[in-house]
Amino acid sequence: MGTTPFTVAAQGTIEYQYFVADPGFTEDTWIQAAEVFPGNRQVVHHAIVFIRPPELDPSQGMGWLTAYVPGQSILSLPEGQAKLVPAGSKFIFQMHYTPTGREQEDRTRVGLLLADPAKVTEQVISMLVINRDFEIPPGADNHRIDAVVDRFPKGSRLLAISPHMHLRGKSFRFNVRQGDKSRILLDVPHYDFNWQHIYALETPLELKDGISIHCTGHFDNSENNLVNPDPSAVVRWGDQTWEEMMLGFMEISVPRNLKKPGEVFQDRPLTEKEETEAVTAARDLVKRFDKNGDGRVERAEVPDSFAVFAFRRMDRDGSKTISYEEALSASRRSVLQQRFRRLNR
């Protein structure tokens, strides 16, 4: 994740840390297996390695490469399947540290096994079933939260799934629905935050039109939950373990020969509705982050996650600030990205 170890404080809250690493790939590279090696398992709660492409291509986005969480195995794909790292991409290490009472250091790494490009027929990507809009009442011992996704890339197959909640997580279920039929893919009746698994499907599920994936989580915010940080608190979405998350990870395979963005968008300008959406999004972004009121967004004005994942892409002229025009350009590219995804479903 870098040449210098990160110092983990003895106490206090440590916000997620982000480190940018350059793998030095000068051509598109396919990854068949990847494993995160925590530098110090005493303080590393989890580590996620993302792929950040060099340019915002409508067919690409911030890709999930692999992760370390207690209980999970390494990413290892069969021949014919691989994850794509576009030429010039960087790796983003998202590190979640937990203080232990004494100052420590960490320098986490990731190991890669490259695939033969000539043998890759399916690209593996990650998708989320997610619900950020919830409030768990104080004392609730079985609070239900649902999430659903019903749109998938054309020709995709579901390979693996993984539930994710925090300390109040009680149970988690994946269901697949098509029409009036529903069946359970995965049922975890006793969720354990300290031992999280990725569950591979014995037979991949073809994600045909009309299929949706539903996730249901139950949360225990009562005194009976022995690891509950505060039964009197109203709990909302957040990164820290005393906050909560409700999401399901999905590993999806898509045919390698999807349409290229240039073929989809050539000579097709934004519609009036799309342009309005882009303008609104750009104005909202500048208004939200422009703390000093100068009409531009500086890197110091945005959260770390925004600074690492999106700032450089939006700052097209390298001025260390994002102007309204640059925000609008990014919003237009985002609209094109959404159009591309719709056309390839």
Whole-number Å distance between alpha carbons of 279 and 335: 11
Query: Mean of the pLDDT values across residues 317-334?
Result: 83
pLDDT above 60: residue 251 = yes
Residue 345 has pLDDT above 80, yes or no: no
Q: Are 153 and 254 in contact (CB under 8 A)?
A: yes
Q: What is the mean pLDDT of the chain?
A: 86
Band of the pLDDT at 64, cuts 50, 70, 90?
confident
60: tokens are 């690409």
Q: What mean pLDDT comes out for the span 57-84?
A: 75
What six digits make up the tokens of 70?
């207690």
**For the chain, what percent of residues have pLDDT higher than 90?**
46
Question: 3-class DSSP state for residue 115?
Answer: coil
Question: How many H-runs (helices) and E-runs (strands) does the chain carry?
Answer: 5, 20
Query: How much is the pTM?
Result: 0.70
Q: Which segments within 231-336 are labelled E, that is strand? A: 247-255, 297-298, 321-322
Residues 43, 110: Cα–Cα separation, whole Å: 17
Domains (range + CATH), the chain: 6-120 (2.60.120.230), 126-255 (2.60.120.230), 262-340 (1.10.238.10)
335 compared with 268, residue with greater pLDDT:
335
Residues 27-65 as b or e (16 or more Cβ within 10 Å = b): eebbbbbbbbebbbeebbbbbbbbbbbeebbbbbbebbb
What is the distance between the alpha carbons of residues 140 and 131, in angstroms, rounded to a whole number?
A: 18
Tell me what pLDDT residue 57 has.
46
**Is the pLDDT reported for residue 341 higher than 80?**
no
Residue 82 has pLDDT above 80, yes or no: yes
